[in-house]
Structure formats: structure tokens, C-alpha cells
Amino acid sequence: MSNHMQRLPLQDLVLAPATLKAYTNSLSSFLSHSRLTPQQLLNLPARTLDRLLAVFIQHSYDSAAPFQYSSNALNAVAYHRPDVKARLFISRQCIKGWKRIKRTLSYPPITWELTVAIAVAMAQRGLHGPAVATLVAFDCYLRVTEMTRIHLHDVVLPNDARMGRAHTAMAVCLAETKTGRNQSVALDRQSVRDILCAWVAHTARNAGEANPRLFAFSPDYFRRAMRQACADRGLSHCHYTPHSLRHGGASSDFLTHGSIERVQFRGRWKQMETLRTYVQSARALLAAQQVPPELNQLGMQLSDSLTAVMALLLESVPEVRPRLRRVAFRL
């Protein structure tokens, strides 16, 4: 690396630790997608780097990845290559175009019945972890990053001795969330509690460590699994994403109980006004969706015997485990 490219210790103090971590994760995705090494990132001409980054941003948009991930990737490249910061013309145009359309694009909430149909489709393909995670994410309004960070010991089982005698509910503890640390949410549906209990036992039996991740896959892996399950059910046109589970779970809870305070507490929203806008659109967005009636009926039938159906599939269908691709680098 040339002298002008070498980083000085003070440069690494510019960003907050959480921001640096977000940049690193997005930069890893960009390097993996573009088949670049860290050394190539540092040495590529600005024009070539700009083109590769723009292609990555377009790919992220086409695959319904979050806008923030691509924005982080752009900022990360500029952070590590300040010499090209002002020359990422195509990449900045792509981000600007995405941001413009993003204002009018809203990923719709999903119903419980369709969530069940999608989870069963995943289980039928052997994607057991994503299938269970889909149900838990809907029931607990989990963000995809929250869901993939859950460890075995983060699950509070019924009558868990760690909680004392007064606590009998089942819950999931969230060490890190968008709105703070050390939060939790209780599970609502009995079928999801039963399925998660079985998955906890399965994970504990097969764990190679004391406290493994409960869902050992990345957010991108889960997005791909959900997109494939939607295609299997003929729902590609609905543009459901992992965020649809959080939106759908909150909307279902509000339409069932009519309590925005309950939804705010379970969903860990800080601002009530943000949540009001969120759930206010639920009926209109749900009514606008074009879902085949027979698929809604299938979801209703599956939900009536969900615990038994999932138990059968998780036992009889061989499990497909993700191959995690990690890009370790030091700049």
C-alpha cells in the first residue's frame, strides 16, 4: 500500500463503534459480491471501484435488500478510500435514485395466515431454522438483525428458574436493538411457543458450543429464503420482505386488541407518533394486496394444526444448513 493510503490511528476514532461495525458488515458484503480482496479495494482506480460499487447497489435494490446496507457500503468505501470519495459518481447517482423511489415504496405487512404458509414452505425445503424464525419474527415483531443475534440462552422458557417463581411466560431477550440494549418481548401465540421450545431443545442437542446462535444464518440468507418461499407460494408480486413480518405482527396485534400502547411496548418503539403512522396504514395496505383466496384458506388450515405440521416437517425433512461466507479483512 502506498504511503498516502496508510491509515493513521486517529482516523479510526472518527466513527462511533456501532457505525464502524455497520460499515464493516456492509463493506464485507460488497467485497464478497464483487469478488474483491481488501488489497484490491485499496488499489483499484476510482473509476473501476465506482462501477463495481454501483453494480452492487443495483443488485441490492433488485434483491430487496435494505437501502441502509447499500448506503453504508458507499460510506464505507469513502471512509477507507478518502482519495476516491469525490469520484464515486455512478454509485452516488444509484443511491440518489433509490432514495427518491424509496419515499413512495412501502413494503407491505403480511398476515398471520400467509406467514404460516411461507414458514411451512421453508420447512418443506428443509430450511428449518428460517421457518421457525419466520414464525417467531412475526409473533415478536423482530427486526431481521434482532432475530439473527438471538442466542440459545436468550430464550426465557416457561417457568424458567432464572426469572424466579413469579415469571411463567415465555420470552425472547434482545441484547442489542435499534432502540437500546437489554430488551425483551414475550411470545403471544401458543403454537409459536411450542415450536420455539422444540427448536431450543433441537439447538441445544446439536450445539457444538455452550451458547450458540438460535438461528445460525445471516440476514441476507434469510431474505433469500423468504423470497424463495414467497415464489413457491406465488407471492412474488407482493414484495414481502423480513420487515413485512414485523409490520404484519404489529398490525395484527393492533387489529386484534386495539391497544397501541401494547404494540408499542412489545415492538420496542420509542416514539408513539411513529408507531401511529405505522399501524394506521395497516388496513389500507392489507386491503390492497392481491392474494389468491385459496392461499389464505391454506394458511388458515395450516395455522389450526401448526404445531403438529411443523413438528412433522422438522422431523421428516432433512435439514438444509447454510454455508456461511465470511470476509475477514483488516484495512
Cβ atoms of residues 123 and 314 within 8 Å: yes
Residue-wise pLDDT for 168-204, tens only, equals 789 999 988 777 788 889 999 999 999 999 999 999 9
Q: Which residue type is seen at 239?
A: H
Give the start-to-end residue ranges of the domains of the chain: 13-102, 112-152+190-316
59 close to 33: Cβ distance less than 8 angstroms: yes
Q: What angle do CA 27, 3, 29 make, to 5 degrees?
A: 5
Q: Provide the pLDDT confidence category of residue 32 given band limits of 50, 70 and 90.
A: very high
Task: Give me the mean pLDDT over the 28-50 stretch.
Answer: 94
Q: What is the pTM of this model?
A: 0.71
Contact present, 183 and 177 (Cβ < 8 Å): yes
Supply φ then ψ for residue 324, to 5 degrees: -75, 130
The more confident residue out of 87 and 166 is 87
CB atoms within 10 A of CB 235: 23
User: By the 8 A CB rule, do 248 and 140 touch?
Assistant: no
pLDDT at 328 over 70: no
Q: Is the pLDDT of residue 1 over 50?
A: no
Most trustworthy range by pLDDT among 53-57, 207-211, 219-223:
53-57
Residue found by looking up cell 446462535 in the block: 213
Gap between the Cα atoms of 44 and 279, Å rounded: 46
Within 10 angstroms of residue 80's Cβ, the number of other Cβ atoms is: 20
Please give the CATH topology (third level) of the domain spanning 112-152+190-316: hpI Integrase; Chain A (1.10.443)
